Structures are given as C-alpha cells and as structure tokens.
Structure 1
Amino acid sequence: MNIMKKLILIALFFYIPVQTMAWGQLGHRVVAQIADAYLTPKARIELEKILGNESLAMAANWADFIKSDPNYKYLYTWHYVDLKEGMTFEQAEEYLKTDTIPNAFNKLNFMIKELKTNKTLAKDKKLLYVRMIIHVVGDIHQPFHAGRADDQGGNKIQLMWGNEQTNMHSIWDTKLIETQQYSYTEYAHNLNHTTAAQRAEWQKTSLAHWIYESNQIAESLYGEIKEPNQKLNTYNYIFLHIHTAEEQMLKGGVRLAGILNQIFG
C-alpha cells in the first residue's frame, strides 16, 4: 500500500502544470543555495535541528511537491499575492495589511512570528514552516507571483516561446532561466557576488516592498504584450530580461538569509 501511495503521489506531481511552480525546481534551489551562504553559525545550527540532513536547496521545492497530496491543499494560496493593476505602493501595502485571505504576505508574517515567539511549537510545525518560508520567499521574487488576479498571475496570457505554445507565467517560472543551462550550484556560484552594503540594503526593506517590487516588474512585462498569442523572439527576450530574473533570484536568496537569521540567529 505504501508503494502504491508513493506511485500515485509521483503521478499526481507530474500531472500538476509546471506554471504553478514559481521558479521551477532550478530557481528555488538557486535562491536557497544563495541564502545558505549567508546564514549565521547559530542559524545554521538551529536549522539543522529542524531540517536534519536536508539542505536549504533540497527543502526549497517541498512546497511544490506536496501539492500532489490533498491533505496540503490548504497551502496552495500561500504561494502568491494578487494585486490590482495600477496600485501605488501605499495602496498595495494597505491592501496587504488588511487582506485576510491566506496569501504569501500574511502567511509569511504568520510563520516568521510563530517560529520566533512560539516556544511550544511542535517539531512537525517547525519543519513545515521552515520549508514553506524557504519556498515562499522564492515565490514572491518571481514577478508573476505578485501579478494580477484577473489573469492568474500571467497564466492566462498565452504566448509563443519560439514555436512552443506557453504562457507568461511559465516563461518566468522556468523557461527563461533554464536557457542558461546551469545546475543550481553553478547558477548560485555565478550570481552570488554581493557586497555587505548591498545585502543590508536589500534586507532592510519590508516584505510589502519586496512584493510590490515584483509586482512592478510584472506590470512592465505586461506592457510588452500587444496581442493574443504573441510570438516572442526568444533570443531577444532572454537578452532583455535574464538579468532581471537573475537579480530577483539573488535578492530572494539574500533576503531569505536575512529572515532565517532574524528567526534563528
């Protein structure tokens, strides 16, 4: 029975559309690997107590893998935040602070607070929250996980990636960064050249700011699409946007380290 359950879960996982997984496996592992480089010694020890031999990079995709298990269906909306077109930062911040529907913003704040202050938090909850924080911080740095609700974060925007039918969300989840053909360790090594001042600057801004920053990138990308099923010049699109995708992964890693150090350091 256990073997059969595992086979069913694996089959369901591969059935899930790739566009539901921000950054795909590669991007999430890059974010987590970068974060690992900036953990304080104390945070590293505390995380090892929770994760055991599971590295941050290996923990980074648990939240997507578990979507195949109906017992964790309640986590689905924790992966993103939808904002209305044309919001100012002040409007977005007010919306984020008052919206009660489970989303990346309010659930990240909840998990961070629980791990920092709840001294009786059960071990399984600690593991769940650490895995989710690693993943969701990555999610909110993928622009279309802070996109518009009416098109499901770019999922409804059908495009041609060369000769392949796809959508805007999927391009930014996987296709764009996978063109570089790096492993996650190679990608993290190639990207991770930050200064202390740069890390401090990125970490000091608020979670609302990070989400709005992603949203504004998404809004600029929406503006490039002029017609249904627009055919993108893949080489030109990569040239124009790969730096943005890479910077978002780098920021995500640096900021994830800041959160984990704040909780456990």
Structure 2
Amino acid sequence: MRTLMIAITIAVLCPAGQALAWWDEGHMQIAYVAYKKLTPAARDRADALLKLNPDYANWIAGAPEGQEKLYAFVHAATWPDDIKMKPDYYDDQVTDSTARQLVPYGHLKHIYWHYKDALLSADDTPLPRPDPVDAVSQLKLMIAKLPANTDASEALRSYSLSWTIHLVGDLHQPLHAIARYSAALPDRGGDRGGNEVKVTAANGETLPLHFYWDGIFGGYSSVFGAIHDADAAGGLASVVPDAGKAQIVDPVTWAQESFDLAKTVAYAPPVRADKQPVELTREYETNARDLARKQAALAAARLANLLEALLR
C-alpha cells in the first residue's frame, strides 16, 4: 500500500506526464544487468561522465568498497525521475522553445521526454497531432552527443548519459509508447498511456493501469535491493533476451515494438477503453509479468550494446 500511495502522490504532483516507468526497482535492475555486460573500458568511461552529475556523491554514499562505479551507474538510472521531486527543478511544456534543447544539468524536469505516445483510436475517435518532442526525438539527440569525437562538452555527454540509461528503460515499457483515445476519453492525451484506466490487481489494489505495469518489478528500492532481486533465482539477470533483437539499437524501432505490445498485451481484455474499473484476470497478470521480464531483459541488453559502441 505504501508503494501505491507514493505513486499516487507523484501522479498528483506531475499530472501532465506519465507515471514513472518501471519505478526505481525496474530501472535499477535494467541498469545493473546492462552494467554487467559492459567491458571495463566502457564502465570506466561511463563513470568518468557520471562523476559530473551533481548527485554522484549521493549515489556512491554507502556503496561497498570497490563497488562505487557500479552503484553510481545503477542509481543514475533513476535520476531523470528523481529530479521530478527536487524543489529546484521546474515544470516545462512540450510546446516551449526549450523543449528540444539538451542543456547540461539545467533545472527543467522535461517530463514529456519520458514517453513516445503513438496515438491509437479504440472506436474511430478523432486523433490530435502527436507531440513533436518525445523520448525518441530526445534519445536520438543524446546518442549523437555521447561519442568522444563529437563537438559536445563533457558536461553535455554526462547529462546525455544520465538520461540515456533511463530512457532506454522507459521505451521498453509498453505503456510509455501509446495513448489510446475513445469516446469516453476523447481529450488531449486520451488515456495517457493507461493512467486514466483503473484496474484491480490480484492483491486487491485498485490503481491506474499504467501504475500496475510500472510496479511489476516492485516499487521504490535501494541499489542493493535492486541488485539482490536481479541476481535472485529467477531474477532479471537470469532472463536471456533474443540475441538478434538485442542488436537493434534504434529508438524508433524500440518504440514501435512497445506500441505493438501495448495494443496486444497491455490493452488485452479485460482492460476497457473507459474509466470503469475492471478486475484483472490471472491470465492477464501472468502475461503482463512475462512480457515485462522479457522487455526489461531486452532493454538491458540493448543498453549495454548501445553504450559499448558509444563509449569506446
């Protein structure tokens, strides 16, 4: 219940944006599994960049001796969500002139960078134009800045890396790649990736569908807890992604995959296209957990392959 209350609090504070994909636990597990796949040279380069993040000292506080680089990398996965709660960071809009700009550790939250909402009509409800700035547009910019042979500053590369670790996870959460419109939800944003759709899970909690998917790996965790869970029997570290798919490092493809999975799995019956709560079936919850594990493992493999190429 505590996890649900924290999530609801954040949703109230950030009503215009999506919920936090995978929450801390999921993002940290993805980062940890990816880190284990990186070569020592890529790890060192990542750490050199992450040291420029203003929260680096907090990330490594309490880390076991010799594990500081690992802890920093894993904790960096939650930084773009952490700033949503910082009092010196400010809300901005996708229509602002600064929406596309990568400003090294500027104080804008950029909540709309966390998702790529492809629009879907459930019943021929007219669709608005999609937003021009989103997770895909910004991640492509960040990827272009990360190699050492670009004209980007080290601060900009650091900022881009902090966001990249996070956004790769975001784009593999199906409900961060879709917004469904219907006669019951016709306004700008539609169901906002399931945020406006209520479901009741097997534990008896009634919560937004988006929150249900974000919380599949658990709620708000420590680095130690996320590593422990990933390495546990049957944990994320044991999931082997498709080797061919793992080589795909194109954010456009990732978003399209997640959009397709949202249509076929996240919005599968008994989920409705209106605000009437429904009780999830055992089949739905089993399929959701299985897909989430596959998507998270794929995100980790793709993140590792992407950073290995960019940070050489």
TM band (smaller chain): 0.7 to 0.9
1:96 maps to: none
1:204 maps to: 248
Change (3 A) 1:127 1:67: same
Per-residue deviation, 1:236:
4.6
Q: Is 1:73 the counterpart of 2:108 in the alignment? A: yes
Query: With structure 1 as the length reference, what TM-score do the two structures score?
Result: 0.79
Q: What SS class does the counterpart of residue 172 from structure 2 fall into?
A: coil
Query: With structure 2 as the length reference, what TM-score do the two structures score?
Result: 0.68
> Are the equivalent residues in 2 in contact too, given 1:29–1:61 (CA < 8 A)?
yes
Per-residue deviation, 1:230:
0.5
1:31 maps to: 30
1:216 maps to: 260
Per-residue deviation, 1:258:
1.2
Per-residue deviation, 1:100:
7.1
Among candidates 16, 25, 35, match of residue 10 of structure 2: 16
Change (3 A) 1:117 1:102: farther
1:129 maps to: 160
Q: Is 1:243 the counterpart of 2:290 in the alignment? A: yes
1:183 maps to: 225
> Are the equivalent residues in 2 in contact too, given 1:13–1:65 (CA < 8 A)?
no
Change (3 A) 1:112 1:191: same
Letter in 1 for 2:173: Q
- In the alignment, structure 1 segments of 5+ residues that lack a partner are 1-11, 87-98
2:193 maps to: 153
* C-alpha distance in structure 1 between counterparts of 2:245 and 2:108, whole Å: 36
Q: CA RMSD in A?
A: 3.1
Greater RCO (Cα-Cα under 8 Å, separation 6 or more):
1
- Percent of residue pairs identical: 27
* C-alpha distance in structure 2 between counterparts of 1:159 and 1:198, whole Å: 31
Structure with a larger share of its residues in helix: 1
Map 1:98-177 onto structure 2 (within 5 A).
101-116=132-147, 119-148=150-179, 149-161=189-201, 162-174=203-215, 176-177=216-217
Aligned residues: 240
1:33-67 Cα deviation digits (max 9, x unpaired): 11101112321121121123452211100000101
1:216-260 Cα deviation digits (max 9, x unpaired): 111122131147201224x55432321111111100100111111
* C-alpha distance in structure 1 between counterparts of 2:245 and 2:9, whole Å: 40
1:40 maps to: 39
**Runs ≥4 residues deviating over 3 A:** 12-15, 71-74, 117-120, 197-201, 235-238
Q: Is 1:232 the counterpart of 2:277 in the alignment? A: no
Q: What SS class does the counterpart of residue 146 from structure 2 fall into?
A: helix
Per-residue deviation, 1:211:
0.9
> Are the equivalent residues in 2 in contact too, given 1:82–1:146 (CA < 8 A)?
yes
Change (3 A) 1:164 1:198: closer
- In the alignment, structure 2 segments of 5+ residues that lack a partner are 1-5, 13-17, 52-68, 91-105, 122-129, 180-188
* C-alpha distance in structure 2 between counterparts of 1:177 and 1:74, whole Å: 24
Per-residue deviation, 1:187:
3.5
Letter in 2 for 1:61: T
* C-alpha distance in structure 2 between counterparts of 1:201 and 1:213, whole Å: 11
